[in-house]
Amino acid sequence: MGRKSKLNINTGIQSRIISNFGIVILLLVTIIEITLIIGITNYYYGGVEQILRDRITVSSDFLNSYSNYSSVDTKARLFFETSSNTYNNSFLVQFIDLNKNLVLDSNGFSENVEINTVDVNAALENKPMIYRGKNSANQENIMAVSRPLIRYGNIDGAIRFIVSLEKIEKEMQKLISFSIIIGLIFIGIFILISAFVSNTIVKPIKKLNEVAEEFAKGNFKAKAEKIYNDEVGVLADTMNFMADEIKNTDKIKNDFISSISHELRTPLTSIKGWSETLQYYEQVKKDSDIALGLSIISTESERLQNMVEELLDFSRFQSNRMKMKKKPIDVKKVITQIYKQFSNKRSSISLMCNLTGEDTCIYADSDRLKQVYINLVSNAIKFTPDGGSIELSAVGYEDKIVTSVKDTGIGIKQDEIPKITQKFYKLSSSIQGNGLGLSIVDEIVRLHDAKMEIVSEEGKGSEFIITFPAYKEDTKGEELIDKNINLDEKND
């Protein structure tokens, strides 16, 4: 009945929650980071720009009004004399003539160097402009602003304030890196929190799924755990309620089967007993019709008895009332008995027995073991056409005993094989029997810690292989008494 696909809740809901919310948070953090970076840049560059503008406006206004008639060179000297230390450290101040040549700067240079930058060109055309770029001399990032110097009402040159951006950019980089780290930590914390939150959803569902699988296998003792008092918790309660209801119905059904079977046992024994007794009466022997009728009553009541016994076994298994009386036994002896019991059952089929291996002792309930092989051989006989053969075998290995019942019968379709050990399962309703035989066999095999494998091909035959663990004296703490085996032999 196994399920074909297994749902992996962990990679489903959990990864969906983390990835969906993760994308939202990632977008949000990216937007915040970009806004922050733009804000930081604008704040720093804007601040420097504002200071530069204010300073140059004050300086150029002062020079243009107080030294209106002097040359650029005189204005420069006047400027550096009056504001010797104020600007020297933070700004480089340059005085440039109309030919864009440097007249004097705050470092004291007065070499004839051409300064042809956009801000200077703009200042000479009386258009104020800010320049941000590389200093051609040392490739340093700088910001520069120039203003025209007026002589007799005309532009005579320009004053230029330059500031290095290295320190500010380092400062900005530190802030930006810090904000990115904070963003990454935020994303990390979010992933952890969403993994935790999704786990609180997924974990109870996973547990419910495990319990539902147990229910599907027929184990209604499993209990769904209510972890939280939420929708999943309510589902756990409903599942437990459902299991209790099924257990109740199952119990009623088992009790019914058990009591009916018990009730049927006594009259069936009487019918069978009397039909056999009556067959010995002289009058009956003389009348062949009555004799035939009585023999039919006898075989049919035996068949009914077997069915009733199967039903009783079934109800015992269902309510765990089946007790195994285990002892060390030689499986070869059991198979030999079955072989003898069935060798004359159907002359049109050849029954063979193949026993190999030294040690074939197992720890088992011999009656139940016989029941297993009787069932398998009866089925083999039932489903093998005339001229076919059935082979019983047992092979002893060091740690296991492998037994098999193999026939050359009608075989079973591949997709039917797993179903035939289910309760009440029959391939066709026209087949005699209640479909319980193999499910009881399977239960008995399980209670012996053994495994049953069914190999079958339609039209070719079937093989039922049962592998038992080998009996080891020390593991069971009981000695292997050959007496048991001899006793079994006497029972033949």
**Cα-Cα-Cα-Cα dihedral sign, residues 254, 257, 261, 263:** positive
Q: Is 412 in the site for ligand ADP (CB under 6 A)?
A: yes
Asked if 100 and 110 touch (Cβ cutoff 8 Å), the reply is no
Q: How far apart are CA 47 and CA 37, in angstroms?
A: 15
Q: How far apart are CA 207 and CA 87, in angstroms?
A: 74
Kindly state the smallest distance separating residue 416's Cβ from ligand ADP, in Å: 8
Kindly state the smallest distance separating residue 425's Cβ from ligand ADP, in Å: 6
Of 235, 410, 465, 487, the one binding ligand ADP (CB under 6 A) is: 410
Tell me whether residue 33 is exposed, middle or buried, using C-beta atoms within 10 angstroms of its C-beta: 0 to 12, 13 to 18, 19 or more. middle
Q: How far apart are CA 29 and CA 25, in angstroms?
A: 6
> Judged by CB under 6 A, which stretch of 116-124, 328-336, 428-436, 476-484 contacts ligand ADP?
428-436
User: Which amino acid does the sequence have at 123?
Assistant: A
Q: Report the DSSP beta bridge partners of residue 411.
A: none
> Judged by CB under 6 A, which stretch of 48-56, 101-109, 223-231, 409-417 contacts ligand ADP?
409-417
- Coil, helix or strand for 446? helix
When the beta carbons of 190 and 339 are compared against ligand ADP, the nearer one is 339
Q: Report the site for ligand ADP in 339-398 (rule: CB under 6 A).
A: 375, 379-380, 383
Point out the residue whose Cβ comes nearest to ligand ADP. Answer: 433
> In angstroms, how far is the first alpha carbon of the chain from the final one?
39
Q: How far apart are CA 215 and CA 239, in angstroms?
A: 9
Tell me whether residue 74 is exposed, middle or buried, using C-beta atoms within 10 angstroms of its C-beta: 0 to 12, 13 to 18, 19 or more. middle
When the beta carbons of 41 and 422 are compared against ligand ADP, the nearer one is 422
Kindly state the smallest distance separating residue 392's Cβ from ligand ADP, in Å: 13
Q: Is 435 in the site for ligand ADP (CB under 6 A)?
A: yes
> Judged by CB under 6 A, which stretch of 97-105, 296-304, 332-340, 405-413 contacts ligand ADP?
405-413
Strand positions, DSSP E, 346-388: 350-356, 361-364
Q: Is 121 in the site for ligand ADP (CB under 6 A)?
A: no
Of 364, 420, 444, 450, the one binding ligand ADP (CB under 6 A) is: 420
Kindly state the smallest distance separating residue 458's Cβ from ligand ADP, in Å: 9
Q: How far apart are CA 82 and CA 366, in angstroms?
A: 121
Q: How far apart are CA 254 and CA 133, in angstroms?
A: 92
As a residue count, the chain comes to: 492
Q: Is 408 in the site for ligand ADP (CB under 6 A)?
A: no
When the beta carbons of 97 and 407 are compared against ligand ADP, the nearer one is 407
Of 25, 243, 438, 466, the one binding ligand ADP (CB under 6 A) is: 438
When the beta carbons of 336 and 375 are compared against ligand ADP, the nearer one is 375
> Judged by CB under 6 A, which stretch of 32-40, 166-174, 252-260, 427-435 contacts ligand ADP?
427-435
Q: Is 60 in the site for ligand ADP (CB under 6 A)?
A: no
| Binding mask of the shown chain, residues 443 to 472, with x at each position contacting ligand ADP by CB under 6 A | -------------------x----------
> Judged by CB under 6 A, which stretch of 67-75, 191-199, 296-304, 424-432 contacts ligand ADP?
424-432
Asked if 451 and 467 touch (Cβ cutoff 8 Å), the reply is yes
Q: Is 431 in the site for ligand ADP (CB under 6 A)?
A: yes
CB neighbour list of residue 492: distance below 8 Å, 6 or more residues apart: 337, 340
DSSP one-letter string for 431-442 = SSS-S-HHHHHH
Which residues are at the interface with ligand ADP (CB under 6 A)? Answer: 375, 379-380, 383, 407, 409-412, 420, 425-427, 431, 433-439, 462
